[in-house]
Amino acid sequence: MGKLDFVEELLQDLKAQNLYNTIRTIGSPMDAWIIVDGKRVLNMCANNYLGFANHPKLKEAAKKAIDEYGVGPTAVRSIAGTMDLHLELEEKLAKFKKAEAVVSFQSGFVSNQAVIPTITGPEDVIFSDELNHASIIDGCRLSKAKVVRYAHNDPADLEARLKEHAGARRKLIITDGVFSMDGDIAPMDEIVKVAEKYDALTMVDDAHGEGVLGEGGRGIVDHFGLHGRVDIEIGTLSKAFGVVGGYAAGNAKIIEYLRQRARPFLFSSAVTPPDVAACIAAVDILQESDELVKKLWSNADYFKSKMKELGFNTGQTQTPITPIIIGDAAKAVAFSKALFDNGIFAMSITYPTVPRGTERIRVMNSAIQSKEDLDFAIGVFEKVGKELGVI
Ligand SMILES: *Cc1c(COP(=O)(O)O)cnc(C)c1O
């Protein structure tokens, strides 16, 4: 036995369990239609909600930033890597979100690693929705705080857990804003009420709510009118914003402390100038107009209503994430393959990402899909759904 044999065994094990990921290759910009493994298909699985990933204004801003600032900051922000661009992005985001302050990080994933262990430690208790994103789970682990999971989107269960741990030094409640597999929205209004009753801090990861929920895409805090009552909002710049990066918005003192102590801020280099400039352009567009956000919602509403009419089970979605529940792993995989053969790129999602029996195709709508695109998609779903006996 060689010391590396275990890796081969682990890989074989994944394959045996049908958990081995085959990753498709994109050979074009992220647009409504893209080239996947050499084939032109309608893209129904990207988080490109507003079409910013290939937006002319973002591309122009990125190119201009390369000419003015070069391609890299070559330092962590606290030493020599903060450019005026980073500060401009943070100011503009704070204004857009109507938050006291914003600090940006390298990604949404990193933002959770940055925030959670910096504001909680072993004496504290974190109350975490049982379906929270992996980056929240890892951030909680890094904090060494006690983690108490509460039932999904259930403020009454949350309250019961808070009662049990009323004596903790600090209490922090964390939830995804929009849950990415089902498209349901956390009841932040009720969560905040419970939090205030027990003097707990509140944090929401709004990766799928940025650019989607609230007035003009200002996110979940705006959606519920909770400005100033949610302590920290995590955002990503890689989904609706179409680029890469993440941030924390909220209470100015917390943000100030994160700039002093958050480890990804202190020990990992800043996002590159073209990325930051493209993000600034995205915020500028959203600040000026809610046209793209409105188009996103009208596309999603149209698609969902047609899918329901056809008899598909679209679960509990309240957002432009539409799960098409198939309920069987092999059938979900076959469904995705048949969609692809018919010109649609939409991935199947199976256990362990979603519970067994709820295997699905997850459709993401976007403002850049045209009515013809959606009608084409609906026609293909109907054909494949009938062929596979799903409808
Ligand atoms: C996608 C996602 C992230 C990760 O964001 P990146 O910017 O891609 O690192 C974090 N949290 C949630 C809830 C997400 O959906």
pLDDT in tens, 179-214: 999 999 999 999 999 999 999 999 999 999 999 999
pLDDT given at position 190: 98
CA of 115 to the centre of ligand 1 (A): 14
Task: Assess whether the C-beta atom of 106 lies below 6 angstroms from ligand 1.
Answer: no
Task: Assess whether the C-beta atom of 184 lies below 6 angstroms from ligand 1.
Answer: no
- Ligand 1 atom with the smallest distance to the CA of 236 is 7
pLDDT in tens, 328-368: 999 999 999 999 999 999 999 998 889 999 999 999 999 99
Q: CA-to-CA distance for 343 and 200, rounded, in angstroms?
A: 49
Domain boundary among 240, 270, 288: 288
Task: Assess whether the C-beta atom of 236 lies below 6 angstroms from ligand 1.
Answer: yes
CA gyration radius, the chain: 21
Residue 216 lies in a domain: yes
pLDDT in tens, 202-258: 999 999 999 999 999 999 999 999 999 999 999 999 999 999 999 999 999 999 999
pLDDT given at position 352: 85
Residues 195 and 215 occupy one common structural domain: yes
pLDDT in tens, 151-178: 999 999 999 999 999 999 999 999 999 9
pTM: 0.96
- Ligand 1 atom with the smallest distance to the CA of 110 is 9
Task: Say whether pLDDT at 113 is over 80.
Answer: yes
Active site residues: 180, 208, 239
Task: Assess whether the C-beta atom of 207 lies below 6 angstroms from ligand 1.
Answer: yes
Residue 4 lies in a domain: no
Task: Assess whether the C-beta atom of 180 lies below 6 angstroms from ligand 1.
Answer: yes
% of the chain exceeding 70 in pLDDT: 100
Question: Which domain range does residue 83 map to?
Answer: 56-288
Residues 280 and 312 occupy one common structural domain: no
pLDDT given at position 20: 85
Task: Say whether pLDDT at 22 is over 90.
Answer: no
CA of 164 to the centre of ligand 1 (A): 30
Residues 6+ apart with CB under 8 A from 173: 126, 127, 158, 162, 191, 194, 195, 200, 201, 202, 203
Residues 281 and 132 occupy one common structural domain: yes
